[in-house]
Amino acid sequence: MPDHDRKRICVARIGAAHGVRGEVRLFSFTNEPDAVRHYGPFVTADGRTIEIAALRPAKDCFVARLKGVDDRNAAERLRNVELFVSRERLPAAEADEFYHADLIGLAVVDRDGRALGTVIAMHNFGAGDIIEVALDGRRSTVMLPFSEAVVPHVDIAGGRVTVELPEGTLDDERPPDDVSPDNPEPA
């Protein structure tokens, strides 16, 4: 990850337009979702500055009125735009908490210190954080639960995370034992 990208953190994403007066749905990625209102002004990936004029809770997100966005067409043009703030404006992570941006790019090693790969992404599909690892010498990646059992140690300063791979994670993909070229259906 380029160094300038490590100095900024994505704290929200603009969703679809809401109504006809330029309001948008806003999805907060901050620990306390409504704290997003205090981190602006925001910068977009293409360098635009965006400020929240008003924010109110909605069912699964917030509805925001953004400065300078006065109609639905302008709001629609902002759909899926991510909002970033500089790292210095965010509070320090507490013990055993990490900003995803700090983890991406770290080396991944096993308990014996053998290199396994690199963290390329963090995901959360609703059931908890998942760490995605590009494995050394393989084209595939693996996704692992970001739990203490699987990731027992994170050393940001040392640039690495230690993982305890679940059994079978690195097994080559092969058909089940009872599948053969003559019988493609498992028994």
- For 39, the token pair is 């981190």
78 in Cβ contact with 71 (< 8 Å): no
Share of the chain above pLDDT 90, in %: 55
Is residue 177 over pLDDT 70?
Answer: no
Is residue 178 over pLDDT 90?
Answer: no
| 83 class by beta-carbon count within 10 Å (0-12 exposed, 13-18 middle, 19+ buried) | buried
The domains located in the chain, with CATH, are 3-88 (2.40.30.60), 100-162 (2.30.30.240)
Share of the chain above pLDDT 70, in %: 87
